[in-house]
Amino acid sequence: MRLSPEIIKKAVTLIIRCLNGSEEEASLVAENLVVADMRGIDTHGVYMLRNIFERVKAGLMFIPTRIKIIEDKGATALIDGGNGIGQVAAKHAVDLSIQKAKDYGIGLVLVRNTNHIGILSFYSNMVAKEGMIGIVACNSAPSMAPWGGVTPFFGTNPLSIAVPSPSTPVILDMSMSVVARGKIRRAQRLKEKIPTGWALDENGNPTTDPDKAMKGVLLPIGGPKGYGLAMMIDILSGVLSGSNYGPNVKTFHRLEGPTGIGVAVMAIAINRFMPLDQFLDLMKGYMDSVRQCKKAEGTARIYLPGEIEAEKELESVRNGVEIHESTITTINQILEELGIDYKIGGVR
């Protein structure tokens, strides 16, 4: 079902406000979740509101979010997210890293003790809009093993890098697994086989059976390369921040305890290296050259990182954002449970 983004944002805002969130954090969460749906990343969209709601209700996450600056000196800082809303802590880290990049050319802010922060491109994009390169990474609950192993140890540990351009920023936003676990769950539902290379079974053998894959581990991109990248993100955002790491990170999707997620945010000031205008001109030429490469047989168009999502977002602005029926039902249930007199999605 297609809805106006503003109508869903209002629902999210009302719910977060009712859960004791400030006006500011309510609108931040609304923006972050709805933009994910608008960009076609519905796994990180308003569907997540159920998790926030249940987690707050269970006393496993605290609203309003009480940020604490543990250390702030020179070009680096360390923040405690107070086991509150991940979006609030991450936004705080973004603002601080931008300020540091203005002062020192680069800023690195780590966050400990926070929760799911939604799509990472939301934050890297904020940095890019300031004429800086934004880099954001975080750890997540274990789903991948060390290379050669079968114990879930690393999360898919996403990374986003956003670069300003004369048009929309170029935004990479990726996890370190070949596919998300959701794709295997879908194959399970549809009773389809999965390609080899997606996952291992519980004994560490390649499998095309989604049921066996769900009991095993996801495979990292590039084998040992993705294993290494996932580890490095875990070390930077989890170990160095003093947060949880490895198998100690709890999933946001079940109520097994505080997640202990750690986040790393970096801003790099372009104007320390060349005038921003000159960089934007270079990027224009760069993007044009990439697009003009000879296409593979059967390929209609070459996309830049984040371009598919940016176009989807524009389309959602024009035609409304696609929200799954079950998500609408969930949101309306939460609204009702909280006694909020507001419904989305028309008559049910």
Q: Is 64 in the site for its own copies (CB under 8 A)?
A: no
CB 75 within 8 A of CB 108: yes
Q: Is 276 in the site for its own copies (CB under 8 A)?
A: no
CB 42 within 8 A of CB 316: no
Beta carbon of residue 282, minimum distance to its own copies (angstroms, whole number)? 5
Q: Is residue 224 exposed (0-12), middle (13-18) or buried (19+ Cβ within 10 Å)?
A: exposed
Query: Per-residue string for binding with its own copies, 314-343, x by CB under 8 A?
Result: ------------------------------
Tell me how many residues contact its own copies (CB under 8 A): 75
Those residues whose C-beta lies under 8 Å from the C-beta of residue 138, and which sit 6 or more positions away, are 90, 117, 120, 157, 158, 233, 237, 261, 262, 263, 264
Query: Per-residue string for binding with its own copies, 168-207, x by CB under 8 A?
Result: --x-x-x---x------------------x--x--xxx--
Beta carbon of residue 274, minimum distance to its own copies (angstroms, whole number)? 6
Pick from 190, 191, 296, 348 the residue near its own copies by CB under 8 A: 296
Pick from 53, 123, 245, 252 the residue near its own copies by CB under 8 A: 245
Query: Per-residue string for binding with its own copies, 297-316, x by CB under 8 A?
Result: xxx-xxx-x-----------
Q: Is 345 in the site for its own copies (CB under 8 A)?
A: no
Our CB check for its own copies shows the closer of 296 and 347 to be: 296
Q: Starting at the edge strand that comes first in sequence, how are the strands of the sheet with 106-114 ordered?
A: 68-73, 76-80, 106-114, 261-269, 132-138, 159-163, 170-174
HSE of 30, CA atoms in CB hemisphere, 13 A: 20
Q: Is 158 in the site for its own copies (CB under 8 A)?
A: no
Scored b (16 or more CB within 10 A) or e, 66-77 reads ebeeeeeeebbb
Site stretch for its own copies (CB under 8 A), options 12-20, 56-64, 271-279, 337-345: 271-279
